[in-house]
Structure 1
């Protein structure tokens, strides 16, 4: 389309006086090249002709760049040449604009008669024509500014152009409002349409979307041009912002900000006036339902806590807290959904969103979910509880806290270690304090020359005299192993779990004292080295 209107300019004979200025020489050269390309384009067909026309466009843009450069560095010698070139550009733009307006009118008439498939192609052609028409307006405005600099202003023509831009702004603003409403209407129809109707509505929706996008881009271009003409474009910028939601530097304009706030205020006030009674009633219903279910949440928690605390169930402290907390939260979540439905929220997309979000979160948090599952297994099978001393996940210590994701263990030297539940559940778990009674396993050795009966008597006396050693089960004291350097006795008294280490340390200390007193030795590994002297034979 731009090629066609450019050819209108090339019909006229571009004759410029010869000069020695390099820029003027370049101007003359571009004139000659454009004339040659124009002649070639008339004799070519197909893609070759399109290539030549593309070259024509580039040459004309280069021509305008040279004119711009000459005007910025203008001299009296170049004045007449530049004035002639600019007037030719003014005439070209005027002729091209008239041609394009006629072409747009013809295309719009054709568009109404086309089928939906044909309308898509016709709409594309129409959008290109309108886009180039806008570019011509900007170039014409530039031409008038050049004439001012060349001391030949054209105020009447310039005002006519300003009026034209104002008219087009109003038209595109109305067109954007209409097309946006049509798009919203078609979008609603798509949601409720049957499968047979959707194909037709979808084509219309696509066509309307293209119209809206073209309206926005055209309006943005016109606003930029109108700003150069010092026209008030506040309402149009506000409309573009509301249509696109795009933040730009223009939003820092105070008038635009005030206009947007005023518009929102008027709209909000009208909406409140129309919907205030119904809205107030819905808010009261929402608050009443929330308060009711908060009360039900507390009641439910109390009932569940009393149920899970029953001695017959023998549930761990953590699983009791879990069931108590979850029961209350579930009741409140149900109440929240009911409250939202009463104020007009559609719960279907919310629940669907929860499902999709759950799937996405499941993939993203696989390790965390593995820990959660392991935590549930720990709650169900209860291999340990808070306060127990355990060896789990490669860590030994007291269970300080347990959640559904991890377990906090405090070691004997007062370090706090947080272990993922999956590591604990996937490994061997040793609960040291699970039972109320434990056996203390100790081994004591005497020398081979010592009295075995005396050793048994001393060990039995030490064990039986300790107050923390239980009478039942009975302690075991037996000769166990004839070792390489010692005769070993096993000593296995039973104690309460909390007395384990006290008994272990007391008996070990007492054994050393009594063995020394009774003359019983405690062997330690040793080796005898024998040296044999070999006499050398006499020579």
Structure 2
């Protein structure tokens, strides 16, 4: 059905060449492609005579494609127009206006007829008719958009047609109102059918479900059509605030238009008006509901404290071996979850519809998410630190370009106290994105030290002295055994590695004590500690006497 207008109207395009003879002579071959396309459309129209079914539909689609090619060529000519060829281009644009005007009238009739057929058809035929109606309506809206483009072309060419342009704007305004009303009606039908299905008997559900599917498709088509016309109306300068708000309320889709100040203000105003009306109608029961609200909140605050204590005991069990950050997270999230549930229950008890509230939270969440991208990155890194536990509170770490003792951890940042008692607050994203070195994670550490002696000193005596120093120190562990080995023959010294094992908290005490004792014992035992030196040999050369 939707292609019949194309067959009838494209035939009129064959007169373009005759009308063009009255215009000034164009440059050679400047309009050749458009004229060729017109001839091809005329041939296709002749071929379509007498054909039906699929063959006719294929020819119709070919004709539509060629008209799109004509419009593309017109756009190119308009972009590079000259004074000489402008009258001829205006003629082609006016032909398009006449054609599309007839097409719009025809398609409007077809949409009305198909809607009437849909209302009177049986259930088995409705799906087919509905699909045809959707395709025809979409094509109708597309033609309206192309018609508006034609008037934009005329303004560029210096020949605006304000009367026909105003008629199209009025038609779009009427279309907006019609589609808005239709969407409201179809949406009510869909909601009513959804409610009936829940309470219907099994033998009735099959028929109701088919009707519900039809209603869903009808609403989806209404939303698609209204969104297209709203976009077109915005280009025309028509106020579409109410229609944009309706699309958001019905579909829940977040578009750029919903962020417009006027639309947001309208949504807020409607919410305030609804709240005022509700308050006026429910004043006698409002105070009692408020009392119930406060009681529920109070009870759930008690539940929150009880939950926090229970979770605190559970996560403090030594068998779980949780990090302090994970303990704090579970304790906090458990209490806050209980309180949020209480707030939602309290809100539902006072009769507040939670769907708009949750929708508002969703919109606010998207906006806040864009505004707090860095914070969310820190939060995600905090979750990774919580899961993998590379360090805990009171650990000494090197992370995020800093080193010190971890004094506090949250899901956003980590507080590190440096060895000279400075407090550094480091974002978790910087810590997680860098190498993390946990110095105190293990209970036992090895102290790595190197001591050099001179080449003339006794190696065995040195080994015995080093062994005695480690054996006498009370903080050096006997297991694992310390390692004392001659390591490197350096340029100025013979180096020994000394590697005792100690408790992590004794690391620096052992390091400093052993270093001090090595110096003192080497001095008493006559073992030298060389410093870098270099022997220089001078050879004297006698000068030959003549």
> TM-score by structure 2 length?
0.53
Quote the offset at 1:188 in angstroms.
0.9
With over 3 angstroms needed to count, the CA separation of the structure-2 counterparts of 1:151 and 1:30, relative to structure 1, is: same
* Counterpart secondary structure, 2:3: helix
Tell me how far 1:296 sits from its aligned partner: 9.9
Cα distance in 1 between the residues matched to 2:256 and 2:306: 56
The one-character-per-residue Cα deviations of 1:247-306 (angstroms, maximum 9, x if unpaired) are 22223322222222212221222233334554543453455467569879999999x9xx
Q: Assess if the C-alpha contact under 8 Å between 1:6 and 1:57 holds in 2.
A: yes
Whole-Å Cα distance in 1 between the matches of residues 261 and 183 of structure 2?
A: 24
- The equivalent of 1:73 in structure 2 is 80
Per the alignment, residue 154 of structure 2 pairs with: 147
Give the equivalent residue in structure 2 for 1:11: 11
Instruction: Determine the C-alpha separation between the residues in 2 that align with 1:300 and 1:66.
Output: 72
Looking at structure 2, the residues matched to 296 and 31 of structure 1 have their Cα atoms a distance apart, in angstroms, of 79
Contact 1:41-1:52 at 8 Å conserved across structures: yes
Encode CA deviations 1:202-256: one digit per residue, 9 max, x unaligned.
1111111112111111111111111111111111111112122222222332222
Q: Do the aligned residues in 2 keep the contact of 1:283 with 1:343 (CA within 8 Å)?
A: no
Please tell me whether residue 261 in structure 1 is matched to residue 262 in structure 2: no
Corresponding residue of 1:206: 213
How far off is 1:146 after superposition? Answer: 2.2
**For 2:136 and 2:162, how far apart are their aligned partners in 1?**
27
Partner of residue 29 from structure 1, selected from 23, 36, 51: 36
Check conservation: 1:186, 1:201, Cα contact below 8 A.
yes
**Match for residue 91 of structure 2 among 41, 65, 84:** 84
Q: CA shift at 1:52, angstroms?
A: 2.5
Alignment match, 1:160: 167
The aligned counterpart of 1:234 is: 241
Q: 1:82 to 1:295 in 2, by over 3 A?
A: closer
Deviations 1:346-378 (A, max 9, x none): 9xxxxxxxxxxxxxxxxxxxxxxxxxxxxxxxx
Larger radius of gyration: 1
User: Given that residues 8 and 95 in structure 1 are in contact (C-alpha distance below 8 angstroms), is that contact kept between their aligned partners in structure 2?
Assistant: no
Deviation at 1:88, TM superposition (A): 1.6
For the pair 1:171 / 2:172, whether they are aligned, the reply is no
Is contact 1:8–1:96 with CA below 8 Å preserved after alignment? no
Separation of aligned partners in 1, 2:85 and 2:105:
30
Which residue does the alignment assign to 2:409?
A: none
Which residues of 2 match residues 122-521 of structure 1 at below 5 A? 122-275=129-282, 277-278=284-285, 280-285=287-292, 287-288=294-295, 340=345, 413=444
Give 2:69's aligned residue. 62
Distance in 1 of aligned mates of 2:97 and 2:299: 77
> Is this contact kept in 2: 1:238–1:260, CA < 8 A?
yes
With over 3 angstroms needed to count, the CA separation of the structure-2 counterparts of 1:35 and 1:301, relative to structure 1, is closer
Structure 2 match to 1:112: 119
- Aligned pairs, how many? 333
- TM-score, with structure 1 as normaliser: 0.54
Partner of 2:56: 49
Separation in 2 of the partners of 1:297 and 1:251? 37
Cα deviation, residue 26, structure 1: 1.2
| Aligned-residue offset at 1:84 | 2.2
Distance 1:59 1:87 in 2: 18
Cα 1:318–1:286 shift into 2, 3 Å: farther
Q: Is the 8 A contact 1:117 1:203 kept in 2?
A: no
Q: Distance in 1 between matches of 2:308 and 2:55?
A: 83
The answer on whether the counterparts of 1:19 and 1:25 sit within 8 Å (CA) in structure 2 is no
Deviation at 1:134, TM superposition (A): 1.3
Match of 2:128 in 1: 121
Encode CA deviations 1:73-132: one digit per residue, 9 max, x unaligned. Answer: 222332332222222211111211221222222222222221122222212222222222
Deviation at 1:49, TM superposition (A): 3.2
Q: Distance in 1 between matches of 2:2 and 2:181?
A: 26
Query: For 2:94 and 2:300, how far apart are their aligned partners in 1?
Result: 80
Q: Give the secondary structure class of the aligned counterpart of 1:77.
A: coil
Paired residues of 2:2 and 2:107 also in contact (CA < 8 A):
no
How far apart in 2 are the matches of 1:258 and 1:227? 18
Residue of structure 2 in register with 1:452 after alignment: none
Distance in 1 of aligned mates of 2:190 and 2:51: 43
Q: Is the CA contact (8 Å cut-off) linking 2:290 and 2:350 kept in structure 1?
A: no
Deviation at 1:69, TM superposition (A): 1.5
Unaligned runs of 5+ in 1: 305-316, 320-328, 347-409, 416-539
State the alpha-carbon separation in 1 of the partners of residues 290 and 233 from structure 2. Answer: 47
In 2, Cα distance between equivalents of 1:159 and 1:225: 14
CA–CA separation in structure 1 for the residues paired with 2:129 and 2:444: 82
Q: Provide the rounded CA distance (Å) in 1 between the counterparts of 2:139 and 2:188.
A: 26
User: Which of 92, 98, 101 is matched with 2:105 structurally?
Assistant: 98
Relative to 1, partners in 2 of residues 1:285 and 1:344: Cα closer, same or farther, differing over 3 Å? Answer: closer
